[in-house]
């Protein structure tokens, strides 16, 4: 099995909204990895589930019940989300706790924002 890692977006890697200027090749490659991580329904639901937990973090023990997949599959999906820079985790005793990285979602939201269209006139 390959140990391919997705590039984690850094604050400087986030660009102006796509409606203002086109993405460069490097930004597009980095963002494609993030969108690929989000393109799986289980991962998208996991991200939403983690974000909606009280206190903003969820134990891995609470993340397997809502899905009709095995625990190793959940762990794989969590790893993909973590490598994409969308979530982070910490081991506490036996369990691992996960939380969403708001800055990663903010960067994606800014990139996809159409707020600038109103300022320059939508086509």
Contact 63, 50 (CB under 8 A): yes
- Residue 84 reports pLDDT greater than 90: yes
**pLDDT tens, position by position, 4-14:** 554 444 433 44
Four-point Cα dihedral 74, 38, 48, 67, nearest 10: -30
- Percent of the residues in the chain that have a pLDDT greater than 90, as a whole number: 54
Domains and CATH numbers, the chain: 25-111 (1.10.10.10)
**pLDDT tens, position by position, 85-109:** 999 999 999 999 999 999 998 888 8
**Which tokens hold the place of 88?**
């982070």
Interacting residues of 76 by C-beta distance below 8 A, sequence separation 6+: none
- Residue 42 reports pLDDT greater than 90: yes
Taking all residues of the chain, what is their mean pLDDT, rounded to a whole number? 82
Contact 93, 100 (CB under 8 A): no
**pLDDT at residue number 1:** 43
Question: Helices in 24-89 by DSSP H: which ranges?
Answer: 25-38, 41-52, 71-83
What is the band of 115 on the pLDDT scale with cuts at 50, 70, 90?
low
């Amino acid at each position: 099995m390959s140990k391919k890692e997705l590039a984690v977006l850094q604050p400087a890697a986030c660009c102006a909204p796509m409606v203002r200027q086109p993405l460069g090749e490097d930004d597009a490659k980095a963002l494609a990895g993030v969108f690929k991580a989000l393109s799986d329904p289980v991962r998208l639901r996991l991200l939403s589930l983690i974000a909606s937990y009280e206190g903003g973090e969820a134990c891995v023990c609470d993340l397997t019940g809502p899905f009709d997949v095995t625990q190793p599959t959940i762990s794989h999906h969590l790893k993909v989300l973590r490598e994409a820079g969308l979530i982070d985790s910490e081991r506490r005793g036996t369990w691992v706790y996960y939380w969403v990285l708001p800055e990663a979602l903010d960067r994606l939201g800014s990139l996809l924002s159409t707020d600038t269209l109103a300022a320059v006139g939508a086509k």
